[in-house]
């Protein structure tokens, strides 16, 4: 019989986290990010609070648009999500190097243009934090004001 979530103690949760998560990379307002312990080309995003649902939203955006090249090319691919959405595994991006030439425009659905939300994947600029993007298939480009 599977224990109820409230019956799993903090030691068990810590063991599970140490098996899944490698190096701590950082945190935003709603999630903490770690290198996936078994594959350093992936990251684990852990929801940091109840009812924020950023992992679920990000997974939904990826699943809806992964086969639409004009959208998917801008997003770091999501690979797995836990059944409750607490954990999300995504391809790991590389930080933007100093002097990287940022595009002057982006698709309209990429509304949060904080530099920390973007990285390089295969040499291409992608968004790796799209848990709050507008979920719309609008690839029309708009001018960007980068921040952060």
SS3 sequence, the chain?
CCCCHHHCCHHHHHHHHHHHEEEEEEECCCEEEEEECCEEEEEEEEECCCCCCHHHHHHHHHHHHCCCHHHHCCECCEEEECCCCCEEEEECCECCCCCCCCCCEEECCCCCCEHHHEEEECCEEEECCCCCCCCCCCCCEEECCCEC
Question: Which residue range forms the structural domain that includes residue 137?
Answer: 5-143
Sign of the torsion formed by the C-alpha atoms of 31, 33, 36 and 40: positive
CATH number at residue 44: 3.30.200.20
Query: Could you tell me if residue 148 is inside a domain?
Result: no
Query: Could you tell me if residue 66 is inside a domain?
Result: yes
Residue 5: the pLDDT is 45
Count of domains for the chain: 1
Query: Could you tell me if residue 57 is inside a domain?
Result: yes
Query: Could you tell me if residue 87 is inside a domain?
Result: yes
Per-residue pLDDT of the chain (148 residues; tens, 9 = 90+): 444 444 456 777 777 778 899 999 999 888 999 999 999 999 999 988 766 789 999 999 999 889 989 889 999 999 999 998 999 999 999 999 999 999 999 888 888 899 999 999 999 999 999 877 765 556 677 788 888 7
Query: Could you tell me if residue 135 is inside a domain?
Result: yes
CA 53 – CA 119 distance, rounded (Å): 22
Residue 108: the pLDDT is 82
């Amino acid at each position: 019989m599977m224990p109820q979530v409230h019956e799993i103690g903090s030691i068990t949760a810590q063991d599970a986290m140490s098996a899944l998560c490698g190096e701590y990379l950082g945190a935003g307002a709603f999630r903490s990010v770690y290198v996936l312990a078994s594959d350093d080309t992936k990251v684990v995003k852990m929801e940091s609070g109840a009812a924020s649902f950023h992992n679920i939203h990000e997974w939904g955006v990826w699943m809806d648009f992964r086969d639409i090249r004009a959208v998917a090319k801008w997003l770091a691919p999501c690979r797995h999500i836990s059944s409750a959405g607490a954990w999300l595994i995504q391809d790991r991006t590389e930080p933007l190097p100093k002097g990287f030439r940022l595009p002057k425009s982006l698709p309209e659905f990429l509304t949060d243009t904080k530099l920390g939300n973007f990285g390089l994947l295969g040499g291409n600029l992608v968004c790796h934090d799209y848990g709050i993007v507008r979920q719309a298939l609008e690839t029309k480009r708009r001018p960007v004001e980068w921040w952060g």
